[in-house]
Amino acid sequence: MTHHHNDYDVVIVGAGIAGAIMAKQLGEQGKQVLILEAGTGTDGRFFDQGKEQGYESYMERFFTAMAKIPNAPYPNNPNAPQPLVTDIQKPPLDKPVSDHGYFVQYGPDPFASTYTRSEGGTTLHWLGTCLRMLPEDFELQSRFGRGRDWPISYQELQPWYEIAEQHIGVSANADVQNYHQIDNPSVQLPFEENYNYPMEQIPQSFLDQYLAKGLQGMQVNIDNQTYPIDVVATPQGRNGMPRGDYRPVGAVGNPDLGQRCAGNSNCVPICPIQAKYSALKTLEQAKQTGNVTIETQAVAYHLAVDDNTQNISKVHYKRYHSSDSAAFEDKAVTGKIVVLAAHAVENAKLLLASNVANSSDQVGRNLMDHPTMLTWGLMPCKIGAFRGPGSTSGIPSLRGGAFRADQAAFRIEIGNWGWSWPEGAPIATVPDLIDKHGLFGPALRHKIAEEYPRMFRFGFLVEQLPDPDNRVTIDDQYRDQLGNYRPVIHYKVTDYTRAGMAQAKEVSDAIFQRLGVEPFTQYKTSDPGYVQYQGKGYVYNGAGHLVGTHLMGKDPKDSVVNRDQRSWDHPNLYLVGCGNMPTIATSNPTLTMAALTFWAADNVLNALDQY
């Protein structure tokens, strides 16, 4: 760790994946970098498995947690509070607000996604899905008259996708991921010739193989056009077998065997052997440059602006001593350049609290997620549920197409862990077998053995459009114990997305019928994510994909950053993270965010040359 002073080349707010990539890239070029992280640190536990207070302590917390939710392993910290899925409620009809947990929700629909405020950020609990966006995802407005166009194209982002995939260590095969085997030109991806991922594709689960066989040749009809249904392996930021001499960073295990995924079936919320990528790996590389300092327990709360230059002159932060007490020191630091990498919601909050970068009035607006609808049932035979990574394949054939003029596109995720998401199986369901069905002894054991390996579920990640009314705001009434703002959220799921959910349900029904899956899907009106479309009910969940809030564009009047990811208003302020993305489309956003951040780091390096 370098000496701590008060004047840096670059001050980065946030030690998640975006902040880590930025720091590593800058540190490698000899720039002096400070990262301010609101959450607690991991005290080097990533590379020190043996420590009592090390990574294993996260596992201990997870094992003994009653609700094994995404943030279960990661301690709640009242000085840097985080949203939890168990906090999500339907905003009450008679009152304008649901004030439960960290988010303050005004609805009309609940925002159901969460993130982690800790060193390593939400990559501590992500699934590792690393899909590229489709070329048409960058041009929704010009192609379909919906949403917005990006100020950059797929072709421009492509080299950065490659850098991000190499860095994360994505396991996949390019000749599979270009989707040329799918008879739908809209979804086909132009990969660079001879490009391949750093690691071989993770083996597809037995369930994936069963589905692929059963769905061969299947088509569905949307708006008088037929679309294929194809099962394709999903690229994953999880250690497979390395290609050539590629070696992933810092996983435990035998390096000659590729330090690979061992099938812990626990990618979300935590991979015990760290075979899955997390930003802690990149942070370690950043620290090894000798030029990057990470100050944890440091919550940035105000950006001061120089009136003459409009540059960000200081980053003010509260440095608390422990998560047990609200005592803090008020500190400030300067950097030639300031980079906000604190997360889509936290970036917006900080900008709003500082009243900066918002001449467009778009800060905090256009919050998007993938409302994720589930369907579940029992397969006619055992498909080996509850094994392997959370999802090893999906059905990407409906990620694009002409229908996007009228309804949302969606990606189908094939879940390997039975009914764990929709029903909490097995932990939450076995008590019913005993209490309600009176099963015990061999009959109980037999019932579990015969039924649970047949449990099956789909997840439909449905597209949402940028909507200025879906937004993060701040309100003096709502603050945390350090006196910082809590995010106030207004959110709704529009008919465009609901139509996509309805379409997804139809596709699911057709697949269930074709395969003889006994349906168990139930959308309860009491569920917080219950919505209706054309008289039918559906339920969405959060995907943890928080996008928008400071989106990039061509015009300073309707966007927050330019294509360089620099604030239109402040020459030395860069924003990174999913908040920059003008549309969410159908891919999990982390890979795209990582690619954009590598690009942004290049822009920051170029800008530093001017100082």
Task: Return residues touching other proteins (CB under 8 A).
Answer: 59-60, 62-66, 68, 203-206, 209, 257-258, 260-266, 270, 272-273, 382-389, 392, 416-418, 420, 426-427, 430-431, 434-435, 438, 440-446, 448-449, 452-453
CB of 386 to other proteins, least distance (A): 4
CB of 440 to other proteins, least distance (A): 5
Which amino acid makes up residue 183?
D
CB of 323 to other proteins, least distance (A): 22
CB of 168 to other proteins, least distance (A): 19
Give me 233's structure tokens: 């392996």
**CB-CB contact of 55 with 42 (8 Å):** yes
CB of 448 to other proteins, least distance (A): 4
| 3-state SS string for 325-347 | CCCEEEEEEEEEEEEECCCHHHH
Q: Which helix (H) or strand (E) holds 413?
A: strand 410-415
Rounded distance between C-alpha atoms, residue 178 and residue 65, angstroms? 40
Nearest Cα neighbor of 113 from 415, 464, 398 is 464
Residue 371 or 388 with smaller CB distance to other proteins:
388
CB of 263 to other proteins, least distance (A): 5
Residue 238 or 570 with smaller CB distance to other proteins:
238
Rounded distance between C-alpha atoms, residue 58 and residue 63, angstroms? 9
Q: Determine whether 41 is exposed, middle or buried from the number of CB atoms within 10 Å of its CB (0-12, 13-18, 19+).
A: middle
CB of 126 to other proteins, least distance (A): 16
**Cα 574–chain centre separation:** 21
CB of 276 to other proteins, least distance (A): 12
Helices 590-608 and 154-168 pack at an angle, to 10 degrees, of 100
CB of 447 to other proteins, least distance (A): 9
Residue 238 or 365 with smaller CB distance to other proteins:
238
Rounded distance between C-alpha atoms, residue 316 and residue 308, angstroms? 19
CB of 379 to other proteins, least distance (A): 10
**CB-CB contact of 542 with 570 (8 Å):** no
Rounded distance between C-alpha atoms, residue 298 and residue 323, angstroms? 11
The number of CA neighbours under 13 Å toward the Cβ of 17 is 27
Residue 222 or 241 with smaller CB distance to other proteins:
241
Residue 266 or 572 with smaller CB distance to other proteins:
266
Burial pattern 1-12, b for ≥16 Cβ within 10 A else e, equals eeeeeeebbbbb
Give me 263's structure tokens: 């099938």
The length of the chain in residues reads 611
**CB-CB contact of 150 with 138 (8 Å):** yes
Residue 444 or 605 with smaller CB distance to other proteins:
444
Residue 95 or 446 with smaller CB distance to other proteins:
446
CB of 274 to other proteins, least distance (A): 12
Q: Which helix (H) or strand (E) holds 429?
A: none
**CB-CB contact of 590 with 413 (8 Å):** no
Residue 161 or 419 with smaller CB distance to other proteins:
419
Rounded distance between C-alpha atoms, residue 379 and residue 383, angstroms? 7
CB of 209 to other proteins, least distance (A): 7
Residue 304 or 444 with smaller CB distance to other proteins:
444
**CB-CB contact of 289 with 27 (8 Å):** yes
Residue 86 or 158 with smaller CB distance to other proteins:
86
Which amino acid makes up residue 447?
K
Residue 180 or 382 with smaller CB distance to other proteins:
382
Give me 347's structure tokens: 């970036």
- Residues linked to residue 315 through DSSP beta bridges, in sequence order: 303, 333
Nearest Cα neighbor of 15 from 339, 357, 434, 308 is 339
Residue 435 or 609 with smaller CB distance to other proteins:
435
CB of 72 to other proteins, least distance (A): 11
Give me 303's structure tokens: 């950006």
Which amino acid makes up residue 497?
T
Residue 30 or 516 with smaller CB distance to other proteins:
516
Rounded distance between C-alpha atoms, residue 252 and residue 46, angstroms? 10
